[in-house]
């Protein structure tokens, strides 16, 4: 099975900051990498698919990069509504797997 | 409008069984791969299973293989998850989710609101 490892597990930042979250796969997943945002009590929301494609309706301050085993989610200028937990997820080979999550908190 | 509505969750004793349903509307159900994802209270997301468009191909997480069965009825626009030999660690909110594109197996953008399964004596 492909293991997905996110770092950091938690992150404190301020409104306006630029932040990055990384995700590493235990083997190549080419570009079959999604990023989800989840707020407490809510359903996960797809932000980025195919490693770097912005899902419709998602603000352009979110961007994704990477291929193979190493991926990054970047938020260009944090807004108050961005404080949430972020998950990477691979759809390259079943069983599909999620990273453990990165909790983004207000500093 | 795409909608996915799960049902069938509840309290079940260890070793028991439960069948979850997910009723879809607002899109051509038979054209999409479908998935189940779960989330234990206060924990992260865990992918559980997927099924192809006509139900002929399925995949499972190691933790549920041999105990859970995914299926679908395209005539009823409904996805199912039959859960047998339930354990305490299966306690979670179970979400159904649609594939990203018609014919694509990638986990996608539309998720149901989830149904809570609690395994406890």
Query: For residue range B66-118, what is the model confidence (pLDDT) as tens digits?
Result: 999 999 999 999 999 999 999 999 999 999 999 999 888 899 999 999 999 99
pLDDT higher than threshold 90 for residue A31: yes
Per-residue pLDDT, averaged over A72-95, amounts to: 96
Mean of pLDDT values over A33-58: 97
Chain B residues with CB under 8 Å of A34 CB are 106-107
Q: How far is A79 from chain B (nearest CA, A)?
A: 22
Chain B: residues touching A (Cβ < 8 Å): 35, 37, 44-47, 50, 59-62, 95, 100, 105-109, 111-114
In the prediction, which pLDDT does B103 show? 85
Rounded Cα distance, B91 and B9, in Å: 10
Render B8-51 in DSSP notation, one character per residue.
--EEE-TT--EEEEEEEESS-GGGS-EEEEEE-TTS-EEEEEEE
What whole-number percentage of chain B has pLDDT above 90? Answer: 96
**CB distance B14 to B86 below 8 Å:** yes
| pLDDT in the model for residue A60 | 97
Per the prediction, chain B carries an average pLDDT of 97
State how far the Cα of B48 lies from the Cα of A16, in Å rounded to an integer.
37
| pLDDT band (50, 70, 90) for residue A39 | very high
Sort out which chain A residues have CB atoms less than 8 A from B57's CB and list them. none
> How far apart (Å, rounded) are the C-alpha atoms in residues B3 and B23?
8
Q: Which residue from A14, A11, A64, A61 is spatially nearest to A35, judged by alpha carbons?
A: A64
For B45, name the nearest residue in chain A, comparing CA atoms only: A98
Give the mean model confidence (pLDDT) for residues B20-35.
98
* Phi, psi angles (nearest 5°) of residue A14: -110, 155
pLDDT of residue A107: 86
Q: Cβ contacts (< 8 Å) between A1 and chain B: which residues?
A: 62
């Amino acid at each position: 099975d492909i293991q997905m490892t996110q770092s950091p597990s938690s992150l404190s930042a301020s409104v306006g900051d630029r932040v990055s979250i990384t995700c590493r796969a235990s083997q190549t997943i080419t570009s079959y990498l999604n990023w989800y945002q989840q707020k407490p009590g809510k359903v996960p929301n797809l932000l980025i698919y195919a490693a770097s494609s912005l899902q419709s309706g998602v603000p352009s301050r979110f961007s994704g990069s990477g291929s193979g085993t190493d991926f990054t989610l970047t938020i260009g200028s944090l807004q108050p509504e961005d404080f949430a937990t972020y998950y990477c997820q691979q759809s390259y080979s079943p069983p599909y797997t999620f990273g453990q999550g990165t909790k983004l908190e207000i500093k | 409008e795409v909608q996915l509505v799960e049902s069938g969750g509840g309290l079940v004793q260890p070793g028991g069984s439960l069948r979850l349903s997910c009723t879809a509307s607002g899109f051509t159900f038979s054209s999409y791969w479908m998935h189940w994802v779960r989330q234990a209270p206060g924990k992260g997301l865990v992918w559980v299973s997927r099924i192809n468009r006509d139900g002929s191909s399925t995949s499972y997480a190691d933790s549920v293989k041999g105990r859970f069965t995914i299926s679908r009825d395209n005539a009823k626009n409904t996805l199912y998850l039959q859960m047998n030999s339930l354990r305490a660690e299966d306690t979670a909110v179970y979400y159904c989710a649609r594939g990203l594109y018609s014919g694509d197996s990638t986990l996608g953008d539309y998720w149901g609101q989830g149904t809570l399964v609690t395994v406890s004596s």
